[in-house]
Structure 1
Amino acid sequence: MDRIDVHQHLIPPDYREALRTHGITAAGGRDLPEWSADAARRFMAEAGIASAVLSVSTPGTTFLTESGEAAALARSVNDYAAELAGNDSGRFGFFATVPLPDVTASAVEAERALDVLHADGVVLLGNSRGTYLGEEGQDELFGVLDERSAVALVHPAELPSPAVPGVPPFAADFLLDTTRAAYLLVRNGIRRRYPKIRFILSHAGGFVPYASHRMALSIFTQTGRSPVDILDDFAGFYFDTALSSSAASLPTLLAFAEPGHVLYGSDWPFAPEPAVHYFNAGLDSYRDVDANTRRGIERSNATALFSRFGVASSSPESSPLTRARRRVRQQVFQAIARAVADR
């Protein structure tokens, strides 16, 4: 197997030490796992993964409240990841860490990482110390990313509210965090103003595919924008399959996402190997998908985004399926708009 994993994590030594110094031994309700490049290679061989785009998971640099410290740690993490990728380019790429919520410092580091370190994109947390991705005031960063047609992995963080006892954040809160960020990126027009940014939503987009029509109605009532355009914005995200390729999740995801916009993800090492193998089996055994679609999820959709791993031969953007979905959306929301007007 030669899967490309767009949702795999690394824990550089300096980053682990910074977390330890600040008393952080867990993330998302799970203990920080062990990680090394050699362990990653062994895992990938066992899981049928040829290449991975690595990223630092939550909390990123948000545990450092002094902006200069956060920016310095982001630089250290990115330098480490760039060296790893440079020494094993066919196997590893990386998403650069940026020190949000400091937008200016994040724009500076994104520019350095993309232009100098040749990062494959950036990782952006759903919220950074309570400031959500997609809120007003982030245009400086989005401008840098749009100018470079950057790929941005939207990764969840813990919600800016107390956890519910007995419900670890990774089980449910992470999905809501991603959904909130996606909602704001669409509601506040960022998807339209910066169309060259390719956003990947982690974990099949959280609740986005399932709740997309509900959210489109909300944005329609808030802004008056065309509900069809709103749904197109949601469906135009990219989605990874980390912990999500199950018989319950795949039908909704594949029915909603634009063709070519679903990518393989493992979430290792925060997802333990048995969990990765479980969801890999879910993808392997899912029958309602043809060979081309399966191949796209496992590899070719990623090659369209990451030049490090090759270039896809064609784009599915104008496929008949895409056009048919848009016709259905138009019909549905014409009926809804009439019903709203009648009331």
Structure 2
Amino acid sequence: MSPQGWLDIHGHFYPPQAPGDAEALAESFRAACFMVSHPVTWEVESILQYNDRADVQMQMLSYIPQTSPEKLKEANTYAASLVSKYPSRFGLLAALPTDDPELCLGEIKRTTSTFEIPADGFAVTTVYKGVGLGDPRLEPVWDVLSSQKAVVHIHPNAYAAPTNGRPSPLIEVAFDTARTVVDMLYNGVFRRYPDIKFVLAHCGGVLPVLAGRLALLGTEEWVPNPNDITRREIEEQLGRLFVDTAATAKTGLQPAVKMVGLENVVYGADCGVPCSTEQTMEENRKDIMDFEAQNDIPRGTILANGWKLFPKAAARVKANDV
């Protein structure tokens, strides 16, 4: 039986900040048309208090800085320390610097073999320092992750420039996800690595709405298709993906379920960043429960899916309850 509370697989964090960093971060947000009105901070106590109010038993932490490999490693190490301190409340999706395959391989090994509690999975962004996830140089990385049957959370590029005076997290992230997944599809990533459990943020962005179009038109002769991906492969490979529910449940769940099936939908809150507030996260969580009720789905089905995806995290919760 799964733990009773939610497993939030989409939780952001910031490592401890030096004086002035929080305001500097806020200024960088505002420069990208993301109009935050206060310094950007993250405090573990506040997150735990919110999770208690929201019946979130555990949150998977991820943070993918694009500053330097050292900062990325420091972030993973800090998150791992929180998992060790709160093993039934936090998990780690270790960030990978996907512009550098060798660094990725080193971080996979480090976060799975040297931490007190190994990483529960991995977090990547659609485009990291100009390198997309469909880039053939990442083949050695996918090969190792496939051998581990790893969970890999794909987040859109949080550092993309604003469009038409509006910040990328409003709608551009949804298109960013779709573009990257389509590139991975045509480059044969999903064909070669079916054992990797890829989880798309935000109900897959606009991808589920476009899945039928891809199946209908994606193998026509006017579409470049060097790997001869078939229509059946398009449908099957998109159907094997997972999606989280972050900030999109009201209108995103129906097409997402049609593309991947109900069993591949897991809860995500998008907690820990200024684009989410307690009010918006709670409204989104209510939308999930309303979706289950309106479609005669047993309550708690989506909640349970997350624990099935992360059985070791579920085991930590159960061990703590003994």
TM range (shorter): 0.7 to 0.9
The aligned amino acid for 2:126 is G
Q: Which residue of 1 aligns with 2:178?
A: 179
1:289, distance to aligned residue in structure 2 (A) = 3.1
Say which of 259, 262, 265 aligns to 2:265: 262
Q: Which residue of 2 aligns with 1:335?
A: none
SS at 1:249's partner residue?
helix
Cα distance in 2 for residues equivalent to 1:15 and 1:299: 39
Distance 1:106 1:30, change over 3 A: farther
SS at 1:275's partner residue?
helix
Say which of 30, 35, 44 aligns to 1:37: 44
1:18, distance to aligned residue in structure 2 (A) = 7.4
Q: Which residue of 1 aligns with 2:94?
A: 96
Does residue 306 of structure 2 align to residue 308 of structure 1?
Answer: no
Higher relative contact order (CA 8 A, sep 6+): 2
Cα distance in 2 for residues equivalent to 1:148 and 1:16: 40
1:99, distance to aligned residue in structure 2 (A) = 2.1
Which sections of structure 1, spanning at least 5 residues, go unmatched?
65-69, 312-343
1:177, distance to aligned residue in structure 2 (A) = 1.1
Q: Which residue of 1 aligns with 2:144?
A: 144
The aligned amino acid for 1:273 is E
RMSD value over aligned CA atoms? 2.5
Cα distance in 2 for residues equivalent to 1:141 and 1:170: 27
> CA contact under 8 A between 2:125 and 2:157: conserved in structure 1?
yes
Q: Which residue of 2 aligns with 1:251?
A: 254
Cα distance in 2 for residues equivalent to 1:156 and 1:24: 21
Distance 1:17 1:192, change over 3 A: farther
Say which of 283, 286, 307 aligns to 1:281: 286
Q: Which residue of 1 aligns with 2:197?
A: 198
Q: Which residue of 1 aligns with 2:243?
A: 239
The aligned amino acid for 2:106 is V
Cα distance in 2 for residues equivalent to 1:11 and 1:215: 37
260-269 or 208-217: bigger deviation: 208-217
TM-score normalised to structure 2 length: 0.85
Identity over aligned residues, as a percent?
23
Q: Which residue of 1 aligns with 2:163?
A: 164
Cα distance in 2 for residues equivalent to 1:178 and 1:101: 17
The aligned amino acid for 1:61 is P
> CA contact under 8 A between 1:159 and 1:174: conserved in structure 2?
no
> CA contact under 8 A between 1:14 and 1:76: conserved in structure 2?
no
TM-score normalised to structure 1 length: 0.80
Does residue 58 of structure 2 align to residue 51 of structure 1?
Answer: yes
Number of residues of Structure 1 aligned to a counterpart in Structure 2 = 299
1:165, distance to aligned residue in structure 2 (A) = 2.9
Distance 1:272 1:95, change over 3 A: same
Distance 1:16 1:261, change over 3 A: farther
